[in-house]
Amino acid sequence: MQSYDIKDIKLAPTGHQKIEWVKAHMMLLNHLEEDFQKNQPFKGMRIALSIHLEAKTAYLCKVLAAGGADMYVTGSNPLSTQDDVAAALVEDGLKVYAHYGASDEQYFADLNQSLEDGRPHIIIDDGGDLVNIVHTERRDLLPNILGGNEETTTGVIRLRAREKEGILEFPMIDVNDAYCKHLFDNRYGTGQSVWDGINRTTNLIVAGKYVVVAGYGWCGKGVAMRAKGLGAKVVVTEIDPIKAMEAKMDGFEVMNMLEAARIGDIFVTVTGCNKVIRKEHYEVMKDGAILSNAGHFDVEVWKPDLEAVAVEVKESRKNIMGYKMADGRWIYLLAGGRLVNLAAGDGHPAEIMDMSFAIQALSAKYIVEKGKTLGNKVHHVPEEIDRFVAWLKLKTMGIEIEHLTQEQEKYLSSWGE
Ligand code: NAD
Ligand code: SAH
């Protein structure tokens, strides 16, 4: 019997449309779908997957199912689940547990149900929620688990912390750290989709404004680069002197948040840290300042302080909450401080998620192949997978690269020439 818990199965038609659209732009997943259909690498495997449940993720789930996996699918953020996409997946015969706008209670109930029904062999996680549950409340599920994958930076940081303390109970692959993931997804994916989310939500001009980007890691570099392209005056805040120097050399202003808070029109946090924007910053911001976050969790823009200093709170437009300060200034928060690109948009473009999810699918296959022989550690994505994904992506784009001649190979590998 198929089990599921979603908003409404009747929403499926637009969900199918969305999945069809991304499928036409995800050539690597097209290739893997065909290959998996033939070779059935996941036959007999149950996979629990928690990734933002929108169309690209749905297509990844279908590709894994085509390879023989029994899929138990849930979201990874209460505001990024798209109910029509969830319904389409249910119609396609997958088990889905996810709701847009879920309360914390419902969100974790969905995650728990996917684990309860799935009793998974493999866990595919984005941010570490499933992994955390099986290490705490559902330790009874541990013996079944061969291993898993983690999609994002913050999730990998947490896995490494578990590994360091010796309390990681199965092997995990750090998909985020593959070149074909963070170089493209975190940088160009976040760079584009953050501005897509902000622009469609606010419908305001970016050119000529001061944009403050907190964090100049892979995501921050993309967000700053695209803000510059839109004509903004870009300010970067950092805690790492090398990254701060890099931002300066890339042509951005670098200062601390207290200084930046006074001049910023639009703020984007992408640090993975908490309380990056807090009370002392709200006190000096300009009237009309717009705040958003694209890092893991709604803790980077610290909402308790914003709520504490506000004398009035009102919804100004869908996904925009206005907070009035005692002196009459208004500060606006997008998407409740959750990932603005996913909670107020559709996330990264299909062609980008094509690479990230090809790495996911091939890493899951790698776990099946290695079985229990992988140690309970955080493992890198094998280099062959990373290179294969880049090679195939180029091929699907019709791009030929150079190949070394024998003479060149010798030249590059010898000390004598
Ligand atoms: P990263 O480690 O490359 O970069 C984070 C940067 O933030 C670092 O340079 C760090 O020095 C800096 N930083 C930390 N605390 C800071 C603070 N208080 N003030 C200013 N700078 C600070 O990580 P990344 O890959 O860029 O990911 C950043 C976050 O975004 C993570 O939480 C990750 O999970 C998330 N992420 C989101 C998306 C998305 O679609 N929105 C995509 C990928 C990653
Ligand atoms: N549960 C966390 C997850 C962090 S999200 C949270 O909600 O805060 C960051 C990850 O989302 C990135 O690593 C990226 O690969 C993924 N992502 C971005 N766009 C996406 C999309 N369109 N579909 C699925 N995942 C996406």
H or E stretch covering 69: none
pLDDT score of 371 more than 90: no
Same CATH topology for 4-181+348-396 and 189-343? Answer: yes
Cα 217 to averaged position of ligand 1 atoms, centre (Å): 6
Residue pLDDT, tens place only, 236-266: 999 999 999 999 999 999 999 999 999 999 9
What is the per-residue pLDDT for 216?
98
pTM of the model: 0.96
Cα 276 to averaged position of ligand 1 atoms, centre (Å): 11
Q: How large is the average pLDDT for residues 284-289?
A: 98
Ligand 1 pocket, residues with Cβ under 6 angstroms: 152-154, 182, 186, 190, 214-220, 237-240, 243, 270-273, 276, 294-296, 339, 341
Helices (H), 67-189: 83-91, 104-118, 129-135, 153-164, 179-181
CATH, domain range 4-181+348-396 = 3.40.50.1480
What is the per-residue pLDDT for 311?
98
Q: How large is the average pLDDT for residues 351-374?
A: 96
Contacts from 66-69 at CB under 8 Å and sequence distance 24+? 66/33, 66/36, 66/37, 67/32, 67/36, 67/37, 67/39, 67/40, 67/41, 67/42, 67/43, 67/361, 67/365, 68/36, 68/40, 68/41, 68/42, 68/43, 68/44, 69/42, 69/45, 69/122, 69/364
How far apart are the C-alpha atoms of 341 and 328, rounded to whole Å? 29
DSSP-derived 3-state class of residue 408: helix
Bridge-based pairing of strands 330-334 and 95-97 is unpaired
The verdict on the CB of residue 54 being under 6 Å from ligand 2 is: yes
CA angle centred on 50, ends 124 and 188, rounded to 5°: 85
**Architecture label for domain 189-343:** 3-Layer(aba) Sandwich (3.40)
Average pLDDT score, the chain: 97
With a pLDDT cut of 90, the percent of the chain lying above it is 98
pLDDT score of 1 more than 60: no
Only one residue has tokens 């997978």, namely: 385
The verdict on the CB of residue 295 being under 6 Å from ligand 2 is: no
Residue type, 178: A
Task: Pick the closest to residue 51 from 60, 39, 43, 64 (CA basis).
Answer: 60
Which of the four pLDDT bands, split at 50, 70 and 90, describes residue 355?
Answer: very high
Q: How large is the average pLDDT for residues 338-348?
A: 96
What is the per-residue pLDDT for 372?
83
With a pLDDT cut of 70, the percent of the chain lying above it is 100
Domain ranges across the chain: 4-181+348-396, 189-343
pLDDT score of 2 more than 70: no
Whose CA is closest to atom 2 on ligand 2? 127
